[in-house]
Amino acid sequence: MCGIVGYVGENNAKDIIIDGLKKLEYRGYDSSGIALNIGGKLVVRKCKGRISNLEEMIAGENLFATAGIGHTRWATHGAPSDLNAHPHTNGDNTIAVVHNGIIENFVELKEWLSRDYGVEFRSETDTEVIAHLIGIYYNGDLLDAVYKAVDKMRGAYALGVVCAAEPDKIVAVRKDSPLVVGLGNNCNFIASDIPALLKHVRSIYLIENNEVVLLTKNEVKLFNAERKPVHRDVFHVTWDADAAEKEGYDHFMIKEIHEQPKGLYETLHRRIGEDGIIRLDGITMTKEDIERFSKVYIVACGTAYHAGLVGKYIIEKLAKIPVEVDVASEFRYRDPFVDDKTLFIAISQSGETLDTLAALREAKRKGARVLSVVNVVGSSVARESDDMFYTWAGPEIAVASTKAYTTQLMCMYLIALYMGAGKGVLSRAEYDEYLKELGELPELLQKVLDQENKIHDIAKKLYKSQQVFFIGRGLDSSVAYEGSLKLKEISYTNSFAIAAGELKHGTIALIEQDTLVIALATQDFLFEKMLSNIQEVKARGAYVLGLAKENNREIERQSDQVIYIPECRDELTPILSVVPLQILAYYVAKLRGCDIDKPKNLAKSVTVE
The domains located in the chain, with CATH, are 3-238 (3.60.20.10), 244-448 (3.40.50.10490), 452-591 (3.40.50.10490)
d(CA 392, CA 605): 18
* Mean of all residue pLDDT scores within the chain: 92
CB atoms < 10 A from the CB of 165, how many? 15
At 352-406, the pLDDT tens digits run 888 999 999 999 999 999 999 998 777 888 889 999 988 888 778 898 999 999 9
In angstroms, what CA-CA distances link 341 with 234, 387, 530, 592? 35, 15, 38, 50
Strands 295-300 and 342-348: parallel
pLDDT at 602 over 80: no
Q: What is the pLDDT of residue 397?
A: 85
Is 256 within 8 Å of 398 (Cβ atoms)? Answer: yes
pLDDT at 570 over 80: yes
Quickly list DSSP for 400-449. Answer: S-SHHHHHHHHHHHHHHHHHHHHHT-S-HHHHHHHHHHHHHHHHHHHHHH
Strands 180-183 and 203-206: antiparallel
Active-site annotation holder among 14, 110, 312, 604: 604
pLDDT at 327 over 60: yes
Q: Residue 37, by phi and psi: left (phi above 0), alpha (psi -120 to 50) or beta?
A: beta
Is 497 within 8 Å of 484 (Cβ atoms)? Answer: yes
Strand runs (DSSP E) across 129-262, as ranges?
A: 155-163, 166-175, 180-183, 188-191, 203-206, 211-215, 220-223, 235-236
Contacts of 290 (CB under 8 A, 6+ apart): 319, 419, 422, 423
d(CA 377, CA 71): 23
At 47-72, the pLDDT tens digits run 998 899 999 999 989 999 999 999 99
Is 507 within 8 Å of 498 (Cβ atoms)? Answer: yes
pLDDT average, residue stretch 205-218 = 95
**Degrees, nearest 5: CA angle 20-175-46:** 40
Which strands sit side by side in the sheet containing 166-175, from one edge to the other?
88-89, 95-103, 155-163, 166-175, 211-215, 220-223
Q: At what angle do helices 127-137 and 106-117 cross, to 10 degrees?
A: 40
CB atoms < 10 A from the CB of 158, how many? 26
Number of H helices, E strands in the chain: 18, 24
d(CA 500, CA 477): 7
d(CA 233, CA 405): 31
Give backbone dihedrals phi and psi of 355, rounded to 5 degrees, phi first: -60, -40
341 is catalytic: no
At 495-549, the pLDDT tens digits run 999 999 998 899 899 899 999 999 999 999 999 999 999 999 999 999 999 999 9
d(CA 609, CA 598): 20
2 is catalytic: yes
Active-site annotation holder among 2, 47, 163, 568: 2
* First-to-last C-alpha distance (Å) of the chain: 10
Helices (H), 492-570: 527-538
In angstroms, what CA-CA distances link 453 with 252, 458, 464, 486, 516? 18, 9, 18, 19, 20
List the single range of 105-114, 123-132, 176-185, 376-385 with lowest mean pLDDT.
376-385
Helices (H), 142-240: 142-150
Length of the chain, please? 609
Is 458 within 8 Å of 586 (Cβ atoms)? Answer: no
Percent of the chain with pLDDT strictly greater than 90: 78
Stronger pLDDT, 510 or 307, i.e. the higher one = 307
Q: At what angle do helices 403-423 and 260-269 cross, to 10 degrees?
A: 20
At 448-478, the pLDDT tens digits run 999 999 999 999 999 999 999 999 999 999 9
